[in-house]
Amino acid sequence: MDELTLTFSFLLILYLSVSGINSTTFTVVNKCNFTLWPASLSIGAAPALSTTGFSLLTDESMAINAPTAWSGRFWGRTDCKEDSTGKFSWSTGDCGSGKVSCSGSGSMPPTTLIEFTLAGDRQSNDFYDVSLVDGYNLPLLVVPRGPSGTSCPSVGCVVDVNGECPAELMVYSDNQRVNVVGCTSSCAAFNSSQFCCDGDHNTPETCPPTNYSQFFKTACPRAYSYAYDDKDSTSICSSADYTITFCPVSNSRTGSSLLATNSILVQ
C-alpha cells in the first residue's frame, strides 16, 4: 500500500469518526405532561457528551451522539426552580451544579437511571440497563434500534412506582408532605450497610434482597433493584441506536404490555 493510499485511508477513518457515522445516537423523548430536564454523566475515562443537561417540553425530543466505547448514564430532573441568584434546583434528579448542565456531577436519589456501556466487550456489544438502585422518580422506556433483522431487548420501568411506594421511602416536593415526587432507595433512606451492600455486607451472600428491593423488582422486573441484582437486569445489543422515552405511557396496564415481549424485531 503506497503512501497516498495510506493517507486517504487515514483521512477516511478520521472523517467517519468526526462525522458521527461510527457513533451511537441516543434520542431522548419527553412524553410527560410537564417540562423535563434530562441529564447525562460520563463514567470513567469516557468523554462528556455534547450536552450534560437540557430541557424538553412535552412531546419534544433531542438526539445526542456518543462516541464508540462510551460509558455513562442518563436520567430526568423534575420541577425546576430558580432562586434570586440565578441558581437552579430540582425536586428530583438534581445534580447539585446549580445550572441546567450537570458538567460531570451525578444525580441525587431518588432517580430512575439508564446506564450504558457501549462496545463493552471484544465483540463490541453494548450493555445497558435501567436501575432503581438510587430509587425512582419517573417512568421510562429504552428501545434499541439495531441493524435490520436484529432483535434486541427493550428495557424500562414504565409503571407509577411513586403511587405504591412504602411510606418510609416517599419523597415529597414540599414540607406539607402532600405531593409525592419520588420513591427513594432504602440505602439513601436508612444509610445502613444492610441496604447499601457495603461494610460487612459487601458481597451477594451477605447482602441478599430485602423487602424494599423486592418491592422495586416486583414493580419493574426488568430493572436493577439493588446492588447485586445482576441475573436478569442487564441487556445486550450490538451496533444500535437507542430511544429513551420518559413517561412513555399514561397507565400501568398499557405500560406492562410494552415490556411483555423482551425484544423488538427491527424490520
Which cell goes with 256?
406492562
Instruction: Tell whether the model's pLDDT for residue 217 goes beyond 50.
Output: yes
Element (H, E) at 252: helix 252-258
Q: How does residue 144 score in pLDDT terms, banded at 50, 70 and 90? A: very high
Query: Does the N-terminal peptide bond of residue 110 adopt cis geometry, omega within 30 degrees of 0?
Result: yes
DSSP state letters, 154-214 = -EEE-S-SGGG--GGGEEESSTT--SEEEE--HHHHH--HHHHT-GGG-STTTS---HHHH
Question: CA-to-CA distance for 109 and 157, rounded, in angstroms?
Answer: 16
Tell me the pTM: 0.85
Tens-place pLDDT, residues 78-100: 999 999 999 999 999 999 999 99
- The β-bridge partners of 126 are 237
Q: Among 20-24, 72-76, 141-145, whose mean pLDDT is lowest?
A: 20-24
Q: How does residue 149 score in pLDDT terms, banded at 50, 70 and 90? A: low
Question: CA-to-CA distance for 224 and 185, rounded, in angstroms?
Answer: 12
Contacts of 67 (CB under 8 A, 6+ apart): 17, 23, 46, 47
Region 94-111 average pLDDT: 96
Q: How does residue 3 score in pLDDT terms, banded at 50, 70 and 90? A: low
Q: Can you give the pLDDT at residue 123? A: 76
Q: Can you give the pLDDT at residue 2? A: 53
For residue 7, report the phi and psi dihedrals to the nearest 5 degrees. Answer: -65, -45
Q: How does residue 9 score in pLDDT terms, banded at 50, 70 and 90? A: very low
Percentage with pLDDT > 90 across the chain: 71
Q: How does residue 249 score in pLDDT terms, banded at 50, 70 and 90? A: confident
Ordered domains of the chain (ranges, CATH): 21-159+221-258 (2.60.110.10)
C-alpha angle 94-48-104 in degrees, rounded to nearest 5:
35
Q: Can you give the pLDDT at residue 233? A: 86
Percentage with pLDDT > 70 across the chain: 84
Question: CA-to-CA distance for 216 and 163, rounded, in angstroms?
Answer: 12
Tens-place pLDDT, residues 182-215: 999 999 999 999 999 998 899 999 999 999 999 9
Q: Among 22-36, 54-68, 225-239, whose mean pLDDT is lowest?
A: 225-239
Which cell goes with 168?
418510609
